[in-house]
Amino acid sequence: MNILPEWIEAARQLAMNRHHGDSSGHDRYHVERVVRLALQISAHESNVQKGLVELMAWLHDIDDRKLSKSEHHVSVAEFMKQYRFPDELVHTIETELGALSYSSSMQGKKMVTLEGKIVQDADRLDAIGAIGIARVFAYGGANGRPIDDLGASGESSLDHFYDKLFKLEGLMNTEYARGLANERTQFMHHFVQRLIDER
Ligand code: NI
């Protein structure tokens, strides 16, 4: 599949606009980190179409329901139509972005392409480690969740470490991402233990 540089630039612009002003951990800096991580992982894999990796990384959270719904935004489908993406590419991007999230993988959806697996790993890496800790509390604050309510609601930010973040390491697709995830996960375990010790 031939990915035009202007498509990547347009996707980057779309992401910059879409994620502007978000304070739930899905801001433009999250997307920029995912793009960087995805390209970093790509460098450790062979036969990767880097243009497709970058394109999907910029687009990966555009349709996320967690982002604001107040104003109309251009969806990934509309964007691909506007730039006349070939049918095969539209199909690949729709399938892969539809399977990317943690909830999709819990429903048994799987990434098909290596490029999709790389973007999924990058997005998951950005949910763990020091940045993951910062994001989980930012998300909790934006959504009215307590930091820690001693298990009362099961929905505090602390619960999220056990419900999802500690599990991501075991779900990595690529070897390189698994190594990074292991280190980041150990750091989170130290942090959570310390938080529990201090309460
Ligand atoms: Ni994301």
Q: What is the pLDDT of residues 55-112, one digit of tens each?
A: 999 999 999 877 766 567 899 999 999 999 999 999 999 999 999 999 999 999 999 9
CA of 91 to the centre of ligand 1 (A): 20
CA of 199 to the centre of ligand 1 (A): 31
pLDDT for position 65: 76
pLDDT for position 67: 72
pLDDT for position 68: 64
For the residues 128-145, what does the mean pLDDT come to? Answer: 97
CA of 60 to the centre of ligand 1 (A): 6
DSSP secondary structure, the chain, as one string: -PPPHHHHHHHHHHHHHHTTT--SS-SHHHHHHHHHHHHHHHTTSSS--HHHHHHHHHHTTTT-TTS--SS----HHHHHHHTT--HHHHHHHHHHHHH-SHHHHHTT----SHHHHHHHHHHHHTTSHHHHHHHHHHHHHHTT--S--TTSSS-SHHHHHHHTGGGGGGG-SSHHHHHHHHHHHHHHHHHHHHHHHH-
Q: What is the pLDDT of residues 2-43, one digit of tens each?
A: 999 999 999 999 999 999 988 889 999 999 999 999 999 999
CA of 30 to the centre of ligand 1 (A): 7
pLDDT for position 192: 98
CA of 182 to the centre of ligand 1 (A): 19
CA of 93 to the centre of ligand 1 (A): 15
CA of 148 to the centre of ligand 1 (A): 24
CA of 82 to the centre of ligand 1 (A): 23
CA of 198 to the centre of ligand 1 (A): 31
CA of 152 to the centre of ligand 1 (A): 28
